[in-house]
């Protein structure tokens, strides 16, 4: 069987795609990549469909050994890139590696997550229409968990295609405050609390994972208590329990919750939010639903242009490589 052998799993590496929407009514979280833009771009670089399952890597990457004739990979979202048998390969481009090659990804500091896509993807059975790992439920991905030492991830392709290597410009995630639409329980908070929420900075605590991130900052006071009849949780919903400290819910969020929700992070800002790390400072800005929809359309259009800008990797040989190739072996007179 062709595959990728896990020599070192990293902090938390799991198989993720764009998730399994439509299952929350059965109590099944959507899951999927924290940064779906990185997933789509990495897949584009290796010639995969946008939503094909890839490896999501959190904070510290794995070391993998290629147990296939040749595979094409691309890393998107890391500031350190790949290390292929000791040679550094920048992020944002594809590269083909041969059997026995060691692929490693060290710690990265610019984001909480990055994506490693493999041409053809993984030969894993989908669960409820998705190969995303939901570790708390123990299903999806590879045995329903993060990778461990000795795992062999089966690959669809035993040999990479003859397609040329490609590179892409970096993704523009935007800047400034994370944008939020109020509701659905903003009336459960004192007016002064809503003002503080948008005026004061918050810090992402160490209690942050794929399910959500707890924030530390200005205390939010409830006007009607902090228990509601449990209702549905959308991506980016911001719950506020009795502590008064917000919790932003992410990919592996629960399907229903019983704390009031002051608002929801807009879809266009979720990829940037999913890349933030414990210790980062975060601010919020209020916008209306129509503006959120416009921002999402603008992001989709900008990303489409980014994919169109993908171009070939041009390798410029060094002087030493040219001499070794012995390209000049004489002089011919005109």
State phi, psi for 198 to the nearest 5 degrees: -90, -15
Hey, what domains does the chain have and what are their CATH numbers?
Answer: 3-167 (no CATH), 178-287 (2.40.100.10)
Residue-level pLDDT, tens digit, the chain, 334 residues = 799 999 999 999 999 999 999 999 999 999 999 999 999 999 999 999 999 999 999 989 999 999 999 999 999 998 888 999 989 999 999 999 999 999 999 887 778 899 999 999 999 999 999 999 999 999 999 999 999 999 999 999 999 999 999 999 999 999 999 999 999 999 999 999 999 999 999 999 999 999 999 999 999 999 999 999 999 999 999 999 999 999 999 999 999 999 999 999 999 999 999 999 999 999 999 999 999 999 999 999 999 999 999 999 976 555 554 565 555 555 555 5
Residue 110 pLDDT: 77
Q: What are the pLDDT digits (tens) for 202-245?
A: 999 999 999 999 999 999 999 999 999 999 999 999 999 999 99
Please write the tens of the pLDDT for every residue from 54-65. Answer: 999 998 999 999
- H/E run at residue 136: none
Task: Give yes or no for a contact between 171 and 111, defined as CB atoms under 8 angstroms apart.
Answer: no
Q: 115: closest CA among 246, 7, 15, 250?
A: 15
The Cα-based distances of 116 to 119, 122, 176 in angstroms read: 10, 12, 27
């Amino acid at each position: 069987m062709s595959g990728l052998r896990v020599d070192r799993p990293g902090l938390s590496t799991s198989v993720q795609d764009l998730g399994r929407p439509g299952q929350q009514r059965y109590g099944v979280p959507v899951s999927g990549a924290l940064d779906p833009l990185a997933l789509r771009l990495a897949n584009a670089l290796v010639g995969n469909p946008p939503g094909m399952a890839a490896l999501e890597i959190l904070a510290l990457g794995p070391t993998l050994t290629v147990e296939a004739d040749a595979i094409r990979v691309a890393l998107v979202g890391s500031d350190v890139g790949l290390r292929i048998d000791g040679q550094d390969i920048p992020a944002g481009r594809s590269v083909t590696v041969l059997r026995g090659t060691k692929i490693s990804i060290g710690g990265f500091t610019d984001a909480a997550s990055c994506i490693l896509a493999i041409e053809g993807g993984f030969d894993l059975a989908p669960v409820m229409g998705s190969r995303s790992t939901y570790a708390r439920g123990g299903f999806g991905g590879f045995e329903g968990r993060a990778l461990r030492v000795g795992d062999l991830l089966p690959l669809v392709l035993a040999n990479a295609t003859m397609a040329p290597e490609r590179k892409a410009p970096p993704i523009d995630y935007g800047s400034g405050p994370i944008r939020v639409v109020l509701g659905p329980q903003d009336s459960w908070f004192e007016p002064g609390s809503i003002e503080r929420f948008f005026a004061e900075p918050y810090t992402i605590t160490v209690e942050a994972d794929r399910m959500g991130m707890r924030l530390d900052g200005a205390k939010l006071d409830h006007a009607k208590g902090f228990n509601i009849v449990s209702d549905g949780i959308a991506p980016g919903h911001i719950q506020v329990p009795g502590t008064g400290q917000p919790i932003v819910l992410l990919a592996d969020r629960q399907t229903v919750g019983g704390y009031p929700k002051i608002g929801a992070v807009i879809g266009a800002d979720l990829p940037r939010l999913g890349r933030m790390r414990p210790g980062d400072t975060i601010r919020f800005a209020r916008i209306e639903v129509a503006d959120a929809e416009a921002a999402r359309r603008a992001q989709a259009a900008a990303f489409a242009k980014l994919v169109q800008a993908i171009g070939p990797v041009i390798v410029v040989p060094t002087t030493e490589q040219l001499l070794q190739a012995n390209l000049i072996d004489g002089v011919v007179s005109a």
